[in-house]
């Protein structure tokens, strides 16, 4: 089955940049989507189709891909960015797949 | 604005069924696929399947194929997810989500419905 690998946790100081990775051998050919889930809330789409930012999402959130890795970057991190972040793709053999999630802690 | 409002929390016995609703507003209900995912306590997101509200066509993840049924009522812009033969490990928050239709991302989510399976 298709597996998207994310680090369990990332810690970052306020004002710095957090980078969350999502790895899979064939990810370069896929649309990758990123979601933010704050405690007790539903997920929110923060990056669509690997690099696009939906309306209302701050410019501090950006997505990129290189080789086997997709990355969500959060610049000028704020306390409110503390959340779980999930990557997601559509894979023909495994349907819609989510990564295991990364907990971002703001120090 | 796009809004998905789900039905309230449920407590069910092992072996029973649960039906969760998802009422859409702010857009053309039949124009976008609706998906369902679940999230067990402290765990990640698990995709369950989708329904095309226009045709009623469905597609389910293999894991749930024999227990899940997704339906819709276009007259009230509402999608439903029914899970049968409930087990303890079906205890989770269930979310409906709108497919953005272009690239496979989910651009709007319901608030979630907690389903608790007890003995």
pLDDT tens-digit series, residues A10-26: 999 999 999 999 999 88
DSSP assigned state of A53: P
Residue B35 three-state SS: strand
> What pLDDT is recorded for position A26?
84
C-alpha–C-alpha distance, residues B74 and B24, integer Å:
10
In a mutational test of the A interface, the residue from B98, B103, B111 whose CB has the highest number of chain A CBs within 10 Å is B103
Q: What is the dihedral of CA A56, A59, A61, A66, to 10 degrees?
A: 120
B contact residues 71-90, partner A, Cβ 8 Å cutoff: none
Residues of B in contact with A101 (CB under 8 A): 44-45
> What pLDDT is recorded for position A94?
65
Q: Per mean pLDDT, which range of A38-42, A94-98, B20-24, B77-81 is the poorest?
A: A94-98
Residue appearing with tokens 């679940």:
B38
Please indicate whether, in this complex, the C-beta atoms of A42 and B111 are within 8 angstroms of each other: yes
Query: With an 8 Å Cβ cutoff, is B65 touching chain A?
Result: no
pLDDT above 90 for B28: yes
Q: What percent of chain B has pLDDT over 90?
A: 96
Task: Give the model's confidence band at A1: pLDDT under 50 very low, under 70 low, under 90 confident, else very high.
Answer: confident
Mean pLDDT (whole number) for A61-76 = 95
Residue B98 three-state SS: strand
Residues of B in contact with A44 (CB under 8 A): 109
């Amino acid at each position: 089955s298709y597996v998207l690998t994310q680090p369990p946790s990332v810690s970052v100081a306020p004002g710095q940049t957090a980078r969350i990775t999502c790895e899979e051998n064939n990810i370069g050919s896929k649309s990758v989507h990123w979601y933010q889930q704050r405690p007790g809330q539903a997920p929110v789409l923060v990056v669509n189709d690997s690099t696009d930012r939906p309306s209302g999402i701050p410019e501090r959130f950006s997505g990129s891909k290189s080789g086997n890795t997709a990355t969500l970057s959060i610049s000028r991190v704020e306390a409110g960015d503390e959340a779980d972040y999930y990557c997601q793709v559509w894979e023909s053999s495994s349907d819609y797949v989510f990564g295991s999630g990364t907990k971002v802690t703001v120090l | 604005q796009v809004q998905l409002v789900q039905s309230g929390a449920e407590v069910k016995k092992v072996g029973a069924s649960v039906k969760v609703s998802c009422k859409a507003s702010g857009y053309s209900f039949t124009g976008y696929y609706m998906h369902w995912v679940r999230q067990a306590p402290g765990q990640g997101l698990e995709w369950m399947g989708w329904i095309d509200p226009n045709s009623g066509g469905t597609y389910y993840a293999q894991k749930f194929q024999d227990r899940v049924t997704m339906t819709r009522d276009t007259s009230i812009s509402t999608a439903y997810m029914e899970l049968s033969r409930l087990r303890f490990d079906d205890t989770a928050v269930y979310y409906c989500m709108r497919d953005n239709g272009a690239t496979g991302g989910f651009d709007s989510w319901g608030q979630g419905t907690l389903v608790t399976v007890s003995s």
